[in-house]
């Protein structure tokens, strides 16, 4: 089962974004602008 099925971004991109969100404490808005 793929938890990222039907998402706009590939799974790698989603995991990368979550790592940055957790590691650097950036806001969701900043993260959205980066993507």
pLDDT of the chain, 35 residues: tens digit per residue: 677 677 777 778 888 888 888 888 878 788 778 77
Domain ranges of the chain: 8-35
The pLDDT of residue 27 is: 80
The pLDDT of residue 13 is: 82
Model's pTM, two decimal places? 0.51
Backbone angles phi, psi at 32, to 5 degrees: -65, -40
The pLDDT of residue 12 is: 82
- Alpha-carbon distance of 7 to 16, in angstroms, equals 15
The pLDDT of residue 33 is: 82
């Amino acid at each position: 089962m793929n938890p990222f099925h039907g998402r706009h971004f590939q799974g790698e991109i989603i995991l990368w974004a979550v790592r940055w969100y957790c590691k650097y404490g950036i806001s969701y808005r900043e993260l959205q602008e980066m993507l």
